[in-house]
Chains A and B, each alone.
Chain A
Amino acid sequence: AQTVTQSQPEMSVQEAETVTLSCTYDTSENNYYLFWYKQPPSRQMILVIRQEAYKQQNATENRFSVNFQKAAKSFSLKISDSQLGDTAMYFCAFMSPQGGSEKLVFGKGTKLTVNP
């Protein structure tokens, strides 16, 4: 079974600075997808960024980018120019297209606080 590990329960960063959230995963599969979800205090789950394992190029979405290291099974999220609205729980998630469910397996999350 796949597992996802987020080793940083909490992090903080000053507004306008850069922060990196770590995520590692365990799988024996070669084809899979990785996601970062944001959960602000409103509780709504919001997709931040996604990465297909077959793509070598790291995904970017405006101020959000990933460092995908397939051999190391690492998938970190970098947030540049942090804003107060980035304060939230961040969940790393893994999805395999095999098995039929295509379910997401989530890490336990990292609580990010952006300080003014």
Chain B
Amino acid sequence: NAGVTQTPKFRILKIGQSMTLQCAQDMNHNYMYWYRQDPGMGLKLIYYSVGAGITDKGEVPNGYNVSRSTTEDFPLRLELAAPSQTSVYFCASRGLAPNNEQFFGPGTRLTVL
């Protein structure tokens, strides 16, 4: 199993550009999450999904969109990138039981200039 994979690992965007961060998991997990981690801070939830076709907003959704057409994939779309979106982005997935570990991807470091 590859676990949770994220692409790209690094990206530099210009203000106003758009991009999609890719996330895939091969563990057949229902729950998937996108977090952002700003310097010196913990992770904050952007969007989450409890299954294919179902998504909902987290704590900091503004400027982002998601879709979940399959169990495996959960892409995060940035429209009109802004410097405030400079951060490290983590995707995570989890099985059904509440105490199940959330498995994290390696992260994407995004810089908006």
Residues of A within 8 A of B (CB): 4, 33, 35, 42-45, 47, 50, 52, 91, 93, 95, 97, 100-104, 106-109
B101 near A104: Cβ-Cβ < 8 Å: no
With CB as the reference atom, state the residue of chain A lying closest to B42. Answer: A106
Residues of B within 8 A of A (CB): 31, 33, 40-45, 48, 50, 56, 58, 88, 90, 92, 94, 98-99, 101-102, 104, 106-107
CB distance from A42 to the nearest CB of B (A): 8
Partner pick for B90 among A4, A45, A95, A103, CB 8 A cutoff: A45
A45 near B104: Cβ-Cβ < 8 Å: yes
Distance, CA A95 to CA B101, complexed state (A): 11
Distance, CA A44 to CA B102, complexed state (A): 12
Besides A43-B106, A103-B45, A109-B40, 10 other A-B contacts (C-beta < 8 A): A35-B101, A45-B92, A47-B102, A91-B43, A97-B98, A102-B98, A103-B33, A103-B48, A104-B43, A104-B45
A47 near B101: Cβ-Cβ < 8 Å: yes
Given known pairs A43-B107, A91-B42, A91-B43, the reply for A104 and B98 (CB within 8 Å) is no
CB distance from A94 to the nearest CB of B (A): 11
B94 near A102: Cβ-Cβ < 8 Å: yes
With CB as the reference atom, state the residue of chain B lying closest to A45. Answer: B104
Partner pick for B106 among A44, A47, A91, A95, CB 8 A cutoff: A44
With CB as the reference atom, state the residue of chain A lying closest to B40. Answer: A108
With CB as the reference atom, state the residue of chain A lying closest to B43. Answer: A106
Residues of B within 8 Å of A103, CB to CB, are 33, 45, 48, 58
